[in-house]
Structures are given as structure tokens and as C-alpha cells.
Structure 1
Amino acid sequence: MGILYLVALAISITGMVVLDRRFGLFFWHRPVRAAIVLAVGVLFFLVWDLFGIGLGIFFRGETSFMTGLQVAPELPVEEILFLTLLCYLTMNVFRGASLLIARREAV
């Protein structure tokens, strides 16, 4: 049960990849730009988390659904996958909304 959250995050990221591939949203539209944007977004939020941890604002929650593995003190490995999912989802939604708006304006 200790890896349930990690598995759920991996499945969710897989879903983002499938949607991206199906509709050509993010990586299938411009792969190099997408990789840079995703890396910068994840790094930004990791630095944000580290500042929050350093200031005593963020704490690692104890739950039986997590692995217990930490990348840094108070920073669980699941956080990296969560931030990746968050950034990937945001970019897919942004690109998808842009395509829908463009399609609507063309009609």
C-alpha cells in the first residue's frame, strides 16, 4: 500500500501522455520547447517547495499511501511526480484551450 500514491501519479502522467499524443497538444506539437517548459516549470516549483520547507511552511505529510522515500528532508519522491503532472496538465489544458478557441474563431 506504500506505493499507491506513486502509482496513481504515474497512471495520471500516462493519461496526460495519451491525451497529448492523441490531440498533438504539448510534446507532440513542439517536443524541444515542451521539454524545456516542463523542466523549467518543475524546477521552479521544486525551488518553491525547498524555500517553503526551509522556512518551515511545508511539511511532509505522513500517510500509508506514500513510499516514505525522500529526495531531501521533508521532500518526498512523490512530489517530483506530482509537480511533473501539474505542469504537464497545465500545458495540455493551455494548448487544448488555444486550439478550441482558434477553431471556434475560424467558424
Structure 2
Amino acid sequence: MPGLYLAAILVSFAGVALLDARFRLAGATSPGRTVAATAIGTVFFLAWDAVGIAAGVFVKGESPLLLGVDLAPHLPVEEPVFLAFLCYLALVLHSAALRRLAARAQRRGRSGDAA
């Protein structure tokens, strides 16, 4: 079923975006920085892919789940979408971890003040 992999990435992207919006993590609090960091990370990983492809390390396998459109040899259209998703997911997880650590430190601070 061509395009299923791309659809799965986009659905996952939407799910992370909903969690981001619901809990006001990365994009909700700093949309410009989130877009910039996601774009910079995506470009970095695309450059990494280009080096790997040129060295013959990365090759595209055949799969009926891919759309079948290549942006370059061994670079399917799904790759930059996946890399953008990966970078955005990392930002959202980082924001969630920072919030969790800050809440934990705040609770410890309150319990230390009471003692």
C-alpha cells in the first residue's frame, strides 16, 4: 500500500503536535524557536544522509509502503518528513523532561522549607 509509511509519520506528527499544544510544551511556548530548531536539525540530518548516501553506507530498500517518489537517489520523500518529525519529537520530549524536573525541584524545595 504505497504511502502508508508517510501517512503513519504524518499521523504521528499530528499526535505529538496535539500533545505539545495540550501541555504547552515546545511549539506552544516558543513557536519560532521550535520551527527554527526543527528546521536546523532536519537540514543537519539531511546533510548527514547525503554524506552517507555518497559514501554508499545508506541505500534505499524497496518497500511497498513507500510512496515511490525520490528527492535524490536513495532519498525517498518520506525521509525529510521523518527527520522533521524526529527533531520535533525530541524538542517536545526535552520540554516535557525540563518541566518534570522543574516540578520535582519545586516539590523538593517546598518539602525542604517545611522541615
Q: Would you say same fold, with TM above 0.5? A: yes
Shift of 1:71: 0.8
Alignment of 1:1-107 (within 5 A): 1-107=1-107
Cα distance in 1 for residues equivalent to 2:77 and 2:103:
40
Cα distance in 2 for residues equivalent to 1:40 and 1:104:
31
Residue 67 of structure 2 aligns to a residue whose secondary structure is coil
Cα distance in 2 for residues equivalent to 1:41 and 1:106:
32
Largest Rg, 1 or 2: 2
* Gap runs ≥5 in structure 2: 108-115
Cα distance in 2 for residues equivalent to 1:40 and 1:79:
15
Q: Output one character per residue of 1:22-66: Cα deviation in whole Å (capped at 9) or x when no partner.
A: 011111111111111010000000000001000100001101011
TM-score by length of 2: 0.91
- Tell me the percent identity: 41
TM-score by length of 1: 0.98
* Stretches (4+) displaced over 4 A: none
Q: How many residues align?
A: 107
Cα distance in 2 for residues equivalent to 1:66 and 1:100:
37
* Gap runs ≥5 in structure 1: none
Return the letter of the residue paired with 1:98: L
